[in-house]
Amino acid sequence: MIGTSAVRLEASLDPQLSRWMWLVKWFLAIPHYIVLFFLWIAFTVVTVIAFFAILFTGRYPRSLFDFNVGVLRWNWRVSYYAHTVLGTDRYPPFTLAEVPDYPAHFDVAYPEHLSRGLVLVKWWLLVIPQYVVVGIFLGNWGWGEDETWTGGGLIPFLSLVAVVILLFTARYPMYLFDFLIGLARWVARVAAYAALMTDEYPPFRLDMGGQQPSALTKT
């Protein structure tokens, strides 16, 4: 039986996707990429501050937690629109807040208490096996001849296959949609764990489909 996850990632596929719009979404999303560049800098700073807060108090300050959830949520909406799944033609909103009528959703249940010991090791040691898996999903997962980390990712490859099928058939293959969402959900759980937002170790499990297998309970 699948347990409730602290991390919720969901999405719904647009019923009438444009055959060709995916060709320019990366370009249309450039303003979001610029904003996300600065948001990720802030995310890193906030995570460092949260590290010391958890280490000394066992709590992740709620305002900092909500900000970092917002950054991950913003990133997921842009990713869903422009490159990871390309499952909607609706332009992502410029907000950290949840947008109920947007087809991509992300949330993390706020933890009332976090382990002060785990915070020292989970983001760099315990999560190493997950980093390897996520590297295979996203790409750049092997050493090249020039001593650089290189390799194609499963998610970029499958998303390209999906939109090429869309181009020729006017239909996005649901089996690829479900699989891509499962991969993205796995990555999101690892990201939340590595960012110290939960003590729940990411399961080595592919929960496919647009809807979360178990409902999120947020405090």
Q: Does residue 214 lie within any of the structural domains? A: no
Q: Which domain holds residue 46?
A: 7-194
Q: Does residue 65 lie within any of the structural domains? A: yes
pTM for the model stands at 0.92
| Tens-binned pLDDT, residue by residue, of the chain (219 aa) | 455 789 999 999 999 999 999 999 999 999 999 999 999 999 999 999 999 999 999 999 999 999 999 999 999 999 999 999 999 999 999 999 999 999 999 999 999 999 999 999 999 999 999 999 999 999 865 545 554 445 579 999 999 999 999 999 999 999 999 999 999 999 999 999 999 999 999 999 999 999 987 544 443
Say how far apart CA 93 and CA 120 lie, in whole Å. Answer: 35
Q: Does residue 118 lie within any of the structural domains? A: yes
Kind of pairing between the strands at 142-143 and 7-11: unpaired
Q: Does residue 41 lie within any of the structural domains? A: yes
User: Hey, which residues does 10 pair with through a beta bridge?
Assistant: 105
Say how far apart CA 22 and CA 164 lie, in whole Å. Answer: 10
61: nearest Cα among 113, 117, 123: 113
- Number of domains comprising the chain: 1
The residue type of 182 is G
Q: Does residue 117 lie within any of the structural domains? A: yes
DSSP code per residue over 88-146? --SPPPS-SS--TTSSEEEEEPPPS---TTGGGTIIIIITHHHHHHHHHHHS--EE-TT
Q: Does residue 120 lie within any of the structural domains? A: yes
Say how far apart CA 213 and CA 157 lie, in whole Å. Answer: 25
Maximal C-alpha separation, the chain? 57
